[in-house]
Amino acid sequence: MLLSQALAIFHDCFDPIVDPVSGRNLIPRMVYGKSMQGQDYGGICCAVLTVNATVVSAGLLRVFGREVAELPLVATRMCSREKGYFQLLFSCVEKLLSFLNVESIMVPAAEEAEPLWMNKFGFRKLAPEQLSKYVKVSYQMVRFKGASMLQKPVHSHQITDKKIETEDNFDLKQPKELLKMDE
């Protein structure tokens, strides 16, 4: 049920991403981690943030060992935007990656989204030679035509008393006690 809600959010926020060979929309294949000829979506997980059992924000995540992880698609329900939900989801993803000792996270970004990723989340453009290095190591990263690859180091977080200690501040437009993350 959570994956179907996440898929609906991706469909609402993105035009279909059509495979030129098969003509199929690739978004459902990415969400469910299904591979097809020429496209490997195995290992992709869908991270979701829920409020009252409803998915409000989702991101597709794949970890390529300790060196790098990718977050190829992210989306937030239209009615849930400007409330800090994606910022909270992204912080949870970063904390997970930190716990797994992943060094950096990459996102493909359309030109109009680059300032958001760079200014709000601290990403930088990936140098072409660095991307070539990842491709040579056989990382099958999701790339979109016309999108730049952005990268950010994953900062380490201390884990104490089963809580992750960070200095993150979230500008949530709702009281924090109304936010509930379902597992």
Give domain status of residue 93, yes or no. yes
Give domain status of residue 178, yes or no. no
pLDDT at 168: 46
Question: How many domains is the chain partitioned into structurally?
Answer: 1
Give domain status of residue 20, yes or no. yes
Give domain status of residue 179, yes or no. no
Give domain status of residue 183, yes or no. no
End-to-end CA distance of the chain: 13
CATH number at residue 20: 3.40.630.30
Give domain status of residue 10, yes or no. yes
Tokens of 124: 């930088």
pTM of the model: 0.81
Q: Are 154 and 97 contacting, i.e. CB atoms less than 8 angstroms apart? A: yes
Q: What is the pLDDT of residues 46-104, one digit of tens each?
A: 999 999 999 999 999 999 989 999 999 999 999 999 999 999 999 999 999 999 999 99
- Under DSSP, the state recorded for 116 is I
Q: What is the pLDDT of residues 33-47, one digit of tens each?
A: 888 777 788 889 999
Q: Are 54 and 129 contacting, i.e. CB atoms less than 8 angstroms apart? A: no
Decide if pLDDT at 12 tops 80.
yes
Give the structural domain span for 57: 2-171
User: Left if phi > 0, otherwise alpha if psi is -120 to 50, otherwise beta: which for 178?
Assistant: alpha
Q: What is the pLDDT of residues 130-167, one digit of tens each?
A: 888 877 765 678 888 888 999 999 988 665 544 444 44
Give domain status of residue 132, yes or no. yes
The three-class DSSP label of residue 137 is coil
Q: Are 42 and 33 contacting, i.e. CB atoms less than 8 angstroms apart? A: yes
Give domain status of residue 177, yes or no. no
Tokens of 100: 């797994």
